[in-house]
Amino acid sequence: MQSMIFREATKNDIGQIQVVRNAVTENTLSNPALVTDKDCEDYMMNRGKGWVCEVEGKIVGFAIADLVDHNVWALFIQPGFDKKGIGRRLHDDMLDWYFQQTTQTIWLSTSPGTRAETFYRKAGWKETGVYGKGEIKFEMSAAGWKTRIVPV
């Protein structure tokens, strides 16, 4: 496997972040124009922070946390780069940072029956109901994050 570089996202990454977001096969956007470059910039620079994973100079995964609405705004991996630990590392870096900023419970939603649903359950997220158009709503508390059992 090529070397992976994990780092904070910058405005210059938005183009490649959009490529990854629109390449995924689960939790796809019904209309890609609904998430603009300006939205990405706002969530990464003003509302929260983002992280990327690069392989050979190309972004293959990203995560963005929102401190305003206290949610995971995005966590996506380029098809073909899944099951390599990229999502877990981005997830953990994002939540470590988030809980250094606040003790407010963070939430996210994802479609049922997806690999994302399985990923979040394994990561210790608690299902708390339904969100939007039938998505599963998950939450993670600061205490839950601090006391999670990290798989070896």
Can you say whether residue 70 is alpha, beta or left, with left for phi > 0 and alpha for psi between -120 and 50 degrees? left
CATH of region 4-146? 3.40.630.30
According to the model, what pLDDT value does residue 15 have?
Answer: 95
Mean pLDDT per 10-residue run, the chain (152 residues)? 90 95 78 82 96 96 97 95 94 97 97 94 95 94 86 52
pLDDT in tens, 73-115: 999 999 999 899 999 999 999 999 999 999 999 999 999 999 9
All structural domains of the chain with their residue ranges = 4-146
**pTM, to two decimals:** 0.92
Q: Residue 17 carries which side chain, given as an amino acid letter?
A: I
CA–CA gap between residue 117 and residue 125 (Å, rounded): 10
**pLDDT at residue 35, as a whole number:** 84
